[in-house]
Amino acid sequence: MDNPNGGIGGKTVLITGGTSGIGKAAAVALAAMGAKVVVVGRNPERGEAALEEIREQGHSDSVELILADLCVQSEVRRLAETFLARHDRLDVLANNAGLVQSRRTETPDGIETTLAINHLAPFLLTNFLLDRLKESAPSRVITVSSEAQRWGSMDFGDLQSRRKYRGFPVYGMTKLANIMFTYELAERLKGTDVTANCLHPGGVGTNFGKNNGGPMALFFRAAKPFMRTPEQGADTLIWLASSPEVEGVSGKYFSDREEIEAQEIANDPEARRTLWEMSEELTGLKVTA
């Protein structure tokens, strides 16, 4: 199908957090362009309802739902196994799911929840799917970060925020981790024809943050009228997934289709390797690549 963003028709795209917000908006747009879209959601009822909406709005039956709770590492593994069993190619992996929490909680694996969903889930899922991405090359890994990365600092001595937890700075730290992961992944993927990029979608008026109470809930409620629509927020994600303009471009951080700079630590190879190795330990994953 001809479209302004290029040759995504017939390609297979996997989008986490694809049943609401910018993930759903991207799923609709890419389905409308002729892609086979697999969305990941957690809730069966909301997932099925979103699936029908994406099919209807994207005028496509090539849309599929896989249920998984990304805060549980065994669920991330099962998600990867389910996808690999059903699909012999993966052209685009969009790591989009994320959350912010006002209070510190832990997952069933004993991991701080924001870190688990925002960073460790995409780290684990991407590594599980790397062989399929390489087999499908040229292919793309896209991770949704945020300019909230500027609020975060990388404390390798307290990566799980046990000593001190504040919602926005911890969220910012995980978004910084997304960028560091992307840059390190791009280095490791050199010569494979698999690219890795990340993006800031802008402040988007979605259900994001509504799981919180107190001041954080008030902040999101007050800010929502001034935020972008999910469709506007999804634009750079859609562009990175589909556009010939970024064919072969890797290891970059984008906002509004323009490359921007991340915090200085993201450009430190030693810090990136440290984060990668700690992520391997926290997920029980040892990567040979």
User: What residues are labeled active site?
Assistant: 171
Here the tokens at position 33 are: 């362009």
Q: Specify the length of the chain in residues.
A: 289
- Which distant-in-sequence residues (6+ apart) come within 8 Å of 176 by Cβ? 145, 149, 152, 153, 154, 262, 263, 265, 266
What's the angle, vertex CA 282, arms to CA 277 and CA 288, rounded to 5? 45
